[in-house]
Copies of this chain bind each other. A is one copy, B any other.
Amino acid sequence: MSENKKSVRTEVSRYGEFGLIEKLTAGFNSLHPSTIKAVGDDAAVLRYPDRAIVVTSDLLIEGIHFDLAYTPLKHLGYKAASVNFSDVYAMNAMPGQILVSIAISSRFSVEDLDEFYEGIKVCCEKHGADLVGGDTSSSLTGMMISITAIGEVLPSGPVYRSTAQNNDIICVSGDMGAAYMGLQLMEREKRVLAGNRFVMPDFEGNDYLLKRLLKPEARRDIVLMLKDAGVVPTAMIDISDGLSSELMHICSQSKKGCKIFEEKIPIAVPTRELAKELVVNPLVCALNGGEDYELLFTVPVGQYDKISSLDGITAIGHITPADAGLNLISAGGQFIPLQAQGWQAF
């Protein structure tokens, strides 16, 4: 919330449920050709005659997934949409629509909600998606967000987690562990600033880590880059719970093993620097950190040349038969079995 910035505070009760939905969704225009009817009836009406669609839902719960002490509501809206689009991209699909449901207590004002929806809007515009529905409700305690995203599968078809093949190259987009380091930074500053929650702390030099935490970017660019290069991944997943955990999903659902190389895992300089300062192993952050919202995918070994010429994609290892297990090869050549220690919802 931003009571420190705003001089106006309008109570949500002034609008009522329907007036509020109307106000919050007024700035949204429907642009996607598949949207026939957006907000305003019992349901949205869509038309996808040509290709398969994907549908995904994610919950974001205050105190579990986000902390309003250091999360601006505009960023929260942006992130809530972004993490759903990330799931759409991970299926080899392009977002078309989202539905946004939000439950809030009376401590939130209409201005707060405007900020949240502004973040949703910016993210939707970036990813070509229309807001077509959702629900608003009061809550007795915290804030809860539930977003459903719908997308259209690319002509090359949906890419599942279960279809990685032996010898496929394992690739990741971007770098790992930065969002987790951003979280450590925020938690440290929160402890230091306890009692002064609306003083924005000094994060100089850590912009990259904070941006990765607060405003993750779903990798539309990577999916389009692969399409343009004529590369169809054999399996794909987005990295929300840590590289290690996602790799285990691909391997277990594909009934395969894997070998990845420590020195290949992309870790940004700010991530390494803060890890050093906090005396944690950057590799552990990269493997188990979570919230990177990068893509992890496999491609046939014959496409290695194509992949290696693409910016922002790193080959980190390869798929093996299942009986070889899931292994990380250390810089010294040691085999270390991979373990899922990602973020747990329970």
Residues on A lying within 8 angstroms of B by beta carbon are 12-13, 15-18, 20, 36-37, 40-59, 61-65, 87-88, 90-91, 93, 97, 99, 101-103, 132-142, 144, 146, 148-151, 153, 158, 160-162, 236-238, 249, 253, 344-346
Contact = CB atoms under 8 A, between A and B. Distances in A.
B137 A140 contact: no
A134 B57 contact: yes
B37 A44 contact: no
Contacts of A16: 344-346
Contact of A56 (B42, B140, B149, B158): B42
A346 B107 CA distance: 12
Nearest to A15: B346
A55 B346 contact: no
A174 B63 CA distance: 43
Given A40-B253, A345-B17, A137 B65 contact: yes
A137 B59 contact: yes
Contacts of A18: 249
Contact of A54 (B44, B64, B139): B44
A99 B238 CA distance: 19
A346 B12 contact: yes
Number of copies of chain A assembled together? 2
A151 to B, nearest CB: 7
B61 A54 contact: no
A45 B52 contact: yes
Contacts of A49: 48-50
Contacts of A153: 45
27 contacts: A12-B346, A16-B344, A16-B346, A37-B160, A41-B91, A41-B160, A41-B161, A42-B91, A45-B52, A45-B54, A45-B153, A47-B52, A55-B99, A57-B101, A57-B134, A57-B146, A58-B135, A59-B101, A59-B135, A59-B137, A61-B139, A135-B146, A136-B345, A141-B141, A141-B142, A144-B144, A148-B148
B158 A55 contact: no
B138 A99 contact: no
A276 B252 CA distance: 63
Contacts of A56: 42-44, 99, 133
Contacts of A99: 55-57, 148
Contacts of A52: 36, 45-47
A55 B42 contact: no
Contacts of A36: 52, 158
A45 B91 contact: yes
A140 B48 contact: no
A134 B54 CA distance: 13
Contacts of A59: 101-103, 135-137, 144, 146
Contacts of A91: 41-43, 45
A21 to B, nearest CB: 10
